[in-house]
Amino acid sequence: MTHRVGFVVFDGVTLLDVSGPAEVLEQARRLGHPYEPVLVSPRGGAVRTSTGMPLSGTVRAAEAGPVDTVLVAGGDRLAEQPVERELSETAWTLAASAARVASVCTGAFVLADLGLLDGRRAATHWRHAAALARRHPRVSVEPDAIHVRDGRFLTSAGISAGIDLTLALVEDDHGAEAARHIARELVVFLQRPGGQSQFTTATAPPTGNDLLRPPIEAVLADPAADHDLASLARAAAVSPRHLTRLFHAELGTTPARWVERVRLGRAQQLLLDGHSVTAAARLSGFGSDETLRRVFLRHLGTTPSAYRRRFATTGATPTAPTAVRPPAGARRG
């Protein structure tokens, strides 16, 4: 039986949010697992993607017919301005009867605006996770997740993570071997190591609270300095207890955890700039290689050395991920 997947698209949609998942479904079809993608937009016809390339042949929700899975693609403007009513209505019409509802990147903002993610865990692009959490406090945003499943709802991180999410959908429908085969064909990880944090050296969202600016600026200026709770409180001219409350209210974390994330971001950048692990540990404020290694494993799911190999250059890496090895006996070109 053919599984129909309704892609919700719109002017400005990120092209890879659509083409990546669609290619996974095409590979599944070649394996004998038929999926039928249906492009659905608020007004039908052609829509202009983020690259300027058009997607033609979209239909309105009323013309799409029933779909088994809905996938709402993302676009930068969804995180920057309210979701327009026509787009919300399109997603709502399809989601009402679908067995699964998914989003890629900032498509999560559409589902959240509809209230579909209230009381649920969700993911979006790391750059927009804080904005999603602020705009929708009833959604439990997981900023480091590649994709999140909560009931019939699935949300993914930025852009290429839509491939990860769609592989998970295929695995649900047809088993792990089918998903592994597709991952090999697309030369991607079936499940990539680590979370979103490994792709960014960002430290924290901006805050409009004047009291927090002095301690935040002090930490950002010199992460390796001694930034204990007492010194941060003195910089803010408040008590340690009040500073802790402000950090929770404005940044959703404790001062110590925030300082650790700033230092982690600095260490990541130092490694990418060519510093040794020992130098990165010292200059970022972690002190020792072992402390830096523990922090990397806890936050990024990888080691400093592996991180540097993976992201410091586009040149050849020593090893290839096991997920992309061709099956035994495959003919070489």
pLDDT at position 195 over 70: no
Is residue 265 a contact partner of residue 220, using CB atoms and an 8 Å limit? Answer: no
Percent of the chain with pLDDT over 70: 87
Q: By mean pLDDT, which of 31-40, 88-97, 200-209 is the weakest?
A: 200-209
Average pLDDT (45-53) is: 94
Per-residue confidence band for 330, with pLDDT thresholds at 50, 70 and 90: very low
Can you give the pTM of this predicted structure?
Answer: 0.66
Average pLDDT (143-154) is: 87
pLDDT tens digit sequence for 129-142: 888 998 999 999 88
Is residue 24 a contact partner of residue 167, using CB atoms and an 8 Å limit? Answer: yes
Residue with tokens 């959703």: 252
* Backbone phi and psi for residue 45, each to the nearest 5 degrees, phi listed first: 80, -155
pLDDT at position 328 over 60: no
Q: By mean pLDDT, which of 70-79, 197-206, 244-253, 257-266 is the weakest?
A: 197-206
pLDDT tens digit sequence for 308-322: 887 665 454 444 443
Per-residue confidence band for 189, with pLDDT thresholds at 50, 70 and 90: low
Per-residue confidence band for 331, with pLDDT thresholds at 50, 70 and 90: very low
Angle between helices 277-284 and 289-300 (to 10 degrees): 80
pLDDT at position 332 over 50: no
pLDDT at 315: 54
pLDDT at 196: 55
Average pLDDT (87-105) is: 96
Find the angle CA(91)-CA(157)-CA(23) to the nearest 5 degrees: 75
Per-residue confidence band for 21, with pLDDT thresholds at 50, 70 and 90: very high
Mean pLDDT for all residues in the chain: 86
pLDDT at position 327 over 70: no
Q: Is 201 exposed, middle or buried (0-12, 13-18, 19+ CB in 10 A)?
A: middle
Task: Please choose, from the candidates 85, 129, 120, 119, the residue with its C-alpha nearest in 3D space to the C-alpha of residue 102.
Answer: 120
Average pLDDT (239-253) is: 89
pLDDT at 186: 84
Transcribe 104-123 into DSSP letters.
Answer: -TTHHHHHHHTTTTTTSEE-
pLDDT at 54: 94
Per-residue confidence band for 208, with pLDDT thresholds at 50, 70 and 90: low
Average pLDDT (100-124) is: 95
Average pLDDT (27-41) is: 96
Average pLDDT (176-195) is: 75
| Residues 6 or more apart whose Cβ sits within 8 Å of residue 333 | none
pLDDT at position 143 over 90: no
Alpha-carbon distances, residue 152 vs 71, 79, 80, 117, 146 (angstroms): 12, 23, 27, 10, 17
